[in-house]
Amino acid sequence: MEQIELRYPGLNPVFFIGASSGGVKALEFLAQRLPEDFPSPLFFLLHRRREGADTSQMLHSILASKTKLKVVVAEAGHPVNGGTIYLPQDNRHLALEDNRIVLLEKPDTEEWRPSIDVLFKSGAREYKERAISVLLTGKLDDGVEGLRETTFQGGITIAQSPADAYDPHLPLNALLNDHPLYVLPLKDMPKLFCELAHHHMASDQRDVAGQAAIAARRIKQDPAAIDLPENRPGTS
């Protein structure tokens, strides 16, 4: 697929997607189901502890075998292109500046490197209302501050339904601390992404955003309405 450089980034939303426990399968699912002419860039980040195992090439191999989109391990200074999935390098934070890739060793106070929060915050400050930050399955709260920054900058925030997540803790923390605009199961996210990216869809796909927004408002009004999974990791 021919790359489309975002010379005018304001014309395209940019997706930032973070996960931890159970995240490989979740990211694989999304990559496999997005259409090959998907117009926006996507940043997939599986957070890892500093000096942890090298996984970027492994994740690249998995995703590249499942999608027709271009999958690359991010290189410093490269422009951000549409129709591309970007992965972080091992033991480096991934950030953006002037619509180009930036790789960072700091902040070294972060427990995670790469960190979801660092990516989400940088993406929100770079792309403002065009930033779309998504938290999937995982433990703890890396990414929650980044969601808040995305909201502050006027972007869109999305969380996987805790009941649908392999590990519900990360999306649950998102719901309790940020009140994302959309809450939905993983299976509906490719449709929502297409809708937000203004990609052509079949008529039966057009109500996904509305349903996810209703779910988010219901949870904001009553946190007790959050559906929690049964017999999932860490819930018993």
List, by residue number, the catalytic residues.
Answer: 20, 47, 142
Closest to 157 in 3D by CA, of 228, 89, 219, 205: 219
Is the previous residue joined to 13 through a cis bond, with omega within 30 degrees of 0? no
Provide the angle, in degrees to the nearest 10, between the axes of the packed helices 23-33 and 189-196: 50
Distance CA 88, CA 47 (A): 9
Beta strands in 121-236 (DSSP E): 131-135, 156-160, 182-184
Helix (H) / strand (E) containing 139: none
Distance CA 197, CA 205 (A): 13
Look at the block and give the residue holding tokens 């991934």: 94
